[in-house]
Structure 1
């Protein structure tokens, strides 16, 4: 990258970033200027650290770009909004090939393109001299289109719990990669490039969803966020989850590794599915599957149970934690 220089790198990245439909001023100035049709801006940030969130020997540069964008765009969708733009902060060793960084930009642009979104700005820096890792900090912006934001705190007793998207596929692919394999390709691809159900977020908001969350940390953990923030107990149906989500490569890989694929469905993150609650009798939009129900919190306090068993006990029985721990080992 040293041959290209910072501004040369920025020029190459911008050339691959596309143009945001709502941008009046895009990359290259001191700041971007975006139109906000709704009058409100939805914003979120995720940080991806090489070695923790991605590995360059497992994923291509384009894969990393797709994954970094998806992690943020899914959070925008989980609020019931549509993505409009990304801001990207990059710290990397000076030896990082410019072609690799261009690939990351290409992946981000491809993930954003269906919404008319794009990278509209950011910053670059050399990482610390003793660091060999790439760090990406991505901020996504979105527009609610007149909808009320769907938060984590609106679930009420009597609501139904539903999921849109895939569960456990990324965790399954990670298990494959950790054992030195690259097949089945469907599992590995799911880990490298998640496929969040972006349209399902605004559709859920339009259908009256009372709470919603991106399952980046795993179903048990993120349904737990809904339960805690709403002060309720969420009951999940294990048979329904097994029938609806233990599909594709999950049974095959679990059989080969001697595990239970339901563990990936319940605790695997990074598929960026959406979990939401809907009022009783609500017509769920296409792509949403009912997996449980919301109840008054009992003496144990708010939380999640599967077939009546607390989430932590279920995860332990399956040999898993309840979900991703950001400051874990």
Structure 2
């Protein structure tokens, strides 16, 4: 008698065929919340109508939607990667404010025929990335939906620090980045052509490697403005330029494309700077600092200057406007 015909085979087969319809809503919720650990700040977690937790200083809140076919594809990413990504892209927003993550709520819409094995793997990814980010899942909601739809809302705390806004950049500041640039865009280019390597680039598209702790590090160092790179470095720094009323000028010579980005760019006949400057989805931290205050492990990429007469706030590369798209726009 082998493993496929033994006494446990029937129960294993039944589990593999089980769907959300057959599992039911409350059992599905249990799949996601089972085994969660709460921090000392959380006094009421999943199970009641609302969660209860304490924050130290001001509360910082952000939310993001992830829609199947827009933010991820199930044929490209397994459920665990999707769960990790759902947490990572939201926790990065707290990092970008210089806040400390505290808690999050997660809502999931899914087709009833979705296998429960997918849900279990998704929950594993959520819990893994939440642990990396230092954040607790304290509640959420589930519903039937045509496509897999994920909404995460994260709450952080300032712990007495002032939040780092997009509007604080000043002439004379330097611009620096911590984290990967171009990897996720390179991975998307690979996946779009039906390939799965280089694995490092593909992995970055499936789930960003957020530099957790970098936002607080920047805030402590005196960062004047900051955000996470989600839609492309040029597009996102453009938000800082507009909010601060300044010009940001990037120095192309300071960029050093990483090996996976160079490999994909060469295979696709592209300039690797296209991936680095316009790709997005890596969720690196980009910040402006007074001269001499940049933390050691941040890479300086440019400078901030005042707008000249009749000059609009913008981002330049080597003193010139970038030719082509500056990043992702959902409605462009």
Q: Which range, TM-score by smaller chain?
A: over 0.9
Query: What is the match of residue 27 of structure 2?
Result: 8
1:322 has 2:332 as partner = no
Query: What is the match of residue 170 of structure 1?
Result: 184
| Correspondence list, 1:185-196, <5 A | 185-196=199-210
The unaligned stretches of length 5 or more in structure 2 are: 1-19
Q: Secondary structure at the match of 1:3?
A: helix
1:209 has 2:223 as partner = yes
Q: CA deviation at 1:140?
A: 0.8
Q: Secondary structure at the match of 1:114?
A: helix
1:257 has 2:268 as partner = yes
Distance 1:22 1:114, change over 3 A: farther
Query: What is the match of residue 298 of structure 2?
Result: 288
C-alpha separation in 2, matches of 1:142 and 1:204: 16
1:154 has 2:168 as partner = yes
C-alpha separation in 2, matches of 1:114 and 1:24: 21
Contact 1:158 1:279 in 2 (8 A): yes
C-alpha separation in 2, matches of 1:123 and 1:46: 15
The unaligned stretches of length 5 or more in structure 1 are: none
Query: What is the match of residue 81 of structure 2?
Result: 63
C-alpha separation in 2, matches of 1:153 and 1:202: 18
Q: CA deviation at 1:9?
A: 0.4
Q: TM-score, normalised by structure 1?
A: 0.92
Query: What is the match of residue 277 of structure 1?
Result: 288
1:124 has 2:135 as partner = no
| Correspondence list, 1:10-89, <5 A | 10-38=29-57, 40-89=58-107
Q: Secondary structure at the match of 2:27?
A: helix
1:227 has 2:265 as partner = no
C-alpha separation in 1, matches of 2:289 and 2:140: 37
Contact 2:249 2:302 in 1 (8 A): yes
Contact 1:84 1:118 in 2 (8 A): yes
Q: Secondary structure at the match of 2:21?
A: coil
Distance 1:249 1:116, change over 3 A: closer
Contact 1:16 1:105 in 2 (8 A): no
Q: Secondary structure at the match of 1:194?
A: coil
Contact 1:16 1:106 in 2 (8 A): no
Distance 1:286 1:101, change over 3 A: farther
Question: CA offsets per residue over residues 73-94 of structure 1, 9 Å max, x none?
Answer: 0000000011111111111111
Question: CA offsets per residue over residues 68-120 of structure 1, 9 Å max, x none?
Answer: 11100000000001111111111111111122122212111111113442211
C-alpha separation in 1, matches of 2:144 and 2:39: 27
C-alpha separation in 2, matches of 1:114 and 1:94: 30
Q: Which residue of 317, 322, 325 maps to 1:306?
A: 317
C-alpha separation in 1, matches of 2:311 and 2:116: 54
Structure of higher CA gyration radius: 2
Aligned pairs, how many?
312
Q: CA deviation at 1:67?
A: 0.6
C-alpha separation in 2, matches of 1:155 and 1:106: 39
Q: TM-score, normalised by structure 2?
A: 0.91
Q: CA deviation at 1:21?
A: 4.2
Q: Secondary structure at the match of 1:309?
A: coil
Distance 1:256 1:296, change over 3 A: same
Query: What is the match of residue 3 of structure 2?
Result: none
Q: Secondary structure at the match of 1:103?
A: helix
C-alpha separation in 2, matches of 1:16 and 1:70: 20
Contact 1:90 1:123 in 2 (8 A): yes
Q: What RMSD over aligned residues (CA atoms) do the two structures have, in Å?
A: 1.2
